[in-house]
Amino acid sequence: MPRAQNRGLLEHRPVEVVTGFHRFAEGSVLYRAGGTRVLCAASLDESVPKWMAGQGRGWVTAEYQMHPRANPERREARDGRDAPLKSRTHEIQRLIGRALRSAVDLGALGERTLSIDCDVLEADGGTRTASVTGGFIALALAAHARGLRGFLRDQVAAVSVGYVADEVYVDLDYREDSAARVDMNVVASAQGELVEVQATAEGRPLPQPIFLRMLAAGLEGVSALCGVERAALAGAGVDLDTLLAARG
């Protein structure tokens, strides 16, 4: 199955990161991967939820929403205040929150809350993985803006992988995702440590050797995206190493 723009099977879609897109949030990015565009805004509050108060630890949470015209046809209503969260939305925002918490030393953060809001403006596959990767950049920007240092364990990024027409594809668009016999989302650190792997086979079970090929491709993709994160932060004047805790 030929890919759009003749990209290779393991080649990412073009990624563009516009930092400081939202003027009120402490950290924000407009993250573009091919036809998918996500606005990620990070807010830092000098408090934690009541159930965490007095423990000396911080918290990282995320919200995820689709704009009504993120897809070719308008959705009738948003999730949230006027409608209950759809199970897919709830699952995705929990994934984003888990992924970003894995990158943060909550003790070093102190009693602060980092909230990352991810709004999908246009969707063409990979919205949750774009939200994780863009969300990390926004989180780091917010921390830098407020003078926080040494609280990150590592970078975290995410990428989709698919088994399409008996080939392993990285960073699927909507057409490829719809045709995939197996789709996988890989969330990992810059050091190659796994945070979460979501994989689902359609029709037939997935042989283990193919799973391992897909996982390896996903980890390579995450490594490349961590380079994108570092470059975007450097372009915004942020030295990522000052945010990272010293590794023992």
Q: What mean pLDDT, rounded, does the chain reach? A: 93
**Model pTM?**
0.94
C-beta separation of 22 from 42 below 8 A: no
The count of C-alpha atoms lying within 13 angstroms of the C-alpha of 242, restricted to the half-sphere facing its C-beta, is 13
Q: Which residues constitute the domain of residue 191?
A: 4-74+86-235
pLDDT at 231: 98
Q: Establish if 247 belongs to a structural domain.
A: no
CATH number at residue 190: 3.30.230.70
How many angstroms separate the CA atoms of 236 and 73, rounded?
35
Quick one: pLDDT at residue 73?
A: 78
- Write out pLDDT tens, residues 182-227: 999 999 999 999 999 999 999 899 999 999 999 999 999 999 999 9
Query: Is residue 121 in some structural domain?
Result: yes
| 248 has a pLDDT exceeding 50 | no
Query: Per-residue DSSP letters for 202-235?
Result: SSSPPPHHHHHHHHHHHHHHHHHHHHHHHHHHHH
> pLDDT tens for residues 104-125?
999 999 999 999 999 999 999 9
Number of domains in the chain: 1
Higher pLDDT: 76 or 232? It is 232
Within a domain: residue 37? yes
